[in-house]
Amino acid sequence: MTAPLVPARLELAPDGTPVSERYGDVYHSIAGGHAQARHVFLGGNGLPVRWRGRASFSLFETGFGLGLNFMATWLAWRSDPQRSGRLEFISVEKHPFSAADLAQAHLAWPEFAPLSTVLCAAWPELVPGEHRVDLDEGRVVLRLLFGDACEIMASLDASVDAIYLDGFSPAKNPELWSPAVCRQLARLVHPETTLATWSVAGSVRRALAAAGFEVARCPGFAGKRQMLSGRYVGSDSAAGRQERARPADFR
């Protein structure tokens, strides 16, 4: 039997940044959640350019958290006259927030207000499994996988164009960056799939390379020297080429 979910509780650091007591880490860079999403996750995957002119574009994220990356992506997509016909965003979350906590946290980003209202109204019950949320008359589909990534990703059937890796720090949340999770990511890719993350930890680079991702360091967000951006090249090529990758050419 599947264990019941343990929801997250909204707690704020003295400077107002949302924190997780369970993991002892912050939900986003103290330099700004929206700006971080744009620089690291959209920029690191060559967005919005890569979705232009496409019928559909799909993403996978580890760690939905407050949904900042999702709303930053949705807002950028909505604002882009050349956006893809559809946007699919799949995200896994072990400790989801309640709709009330999400709405409260989102007040810090007035630019997200219209999206937050719609998202929180459609927010599913906190029970394990997949929940599909249709937004913008079905042109945006959010697939929320509530459960532990290490277990629930194995039953996911998808082929995605871009991947956001956004667990808490690998030192505090190693299971979400594990070789097993990276191998699951490699099941969700096609030859053009890219990924981005703010972490440059050696354990993350090694797990990604072993799973077939070629990664390159590029300038990080707000005072962080580096982040990773990469693409899927297949496990034979990536393991041998770890760190010799040229910077991804979509940046």
Ligand X SMILES: C[S@@+](CC[C@H](N)C(=O)[O-])C[C@H]1O[C@@H](n2cnc3c(N)ncnc32)[C@H](O)[C@@H]1O
Cβ neighbour number for residue 70 with a 10 Å cutoff: 26
Side-chain-facing half-sphere of 242: CA atoms under 13 Å: 16
Q: Considering only residues 83, 95, 106, 205, which one is a binding residue for ligand X as defined by CB under 6 A?
A: 95
- Looking at the Cβ atoms of 64 and 213, the one nearer to ligand X is 64
**Smallest distance from ligand X to CB 175, Å:** 5
**Smallest distance from ligand X to CB 250, Å:** 21
Q: Considering only residues 84, 173, 193, 197, which one is a binding residue for ligand X as defined by CB under 6 A?
A: 173
- Looking at the Cβ atoms of 22 and 241, the one nearer to ligand X is 22
Q: Interface with ligand X by CB under 6 A: which range of 109-117, 168-176, 193-201, 233-241? A: 168-176
Binding flag, residue 10, ligand X (CB under 6 A): no
**Smallest distance from ligand X to CB 231, Å:** 21
Q: Which residues contact 1 (CB under 8 A, 6 or more apart)?
A: none
Contacts to ligand X from residues 147-166, by CB under 6 A: 148-150, 166
- Looking at the Cβ atoms of 61 and 214, the one nearer to ligand X is 61
Binding flag, residue 176, ligand X (CB under 6 A): yes
Binding flag, residue 119, ligand X (CB under 6 A): no
What residues make contact with ligand X under the rule CB under 6 A?
Answer: 8, 27, 61, 63-69, 92-95, 148-150, 166-168, 173, 175-176
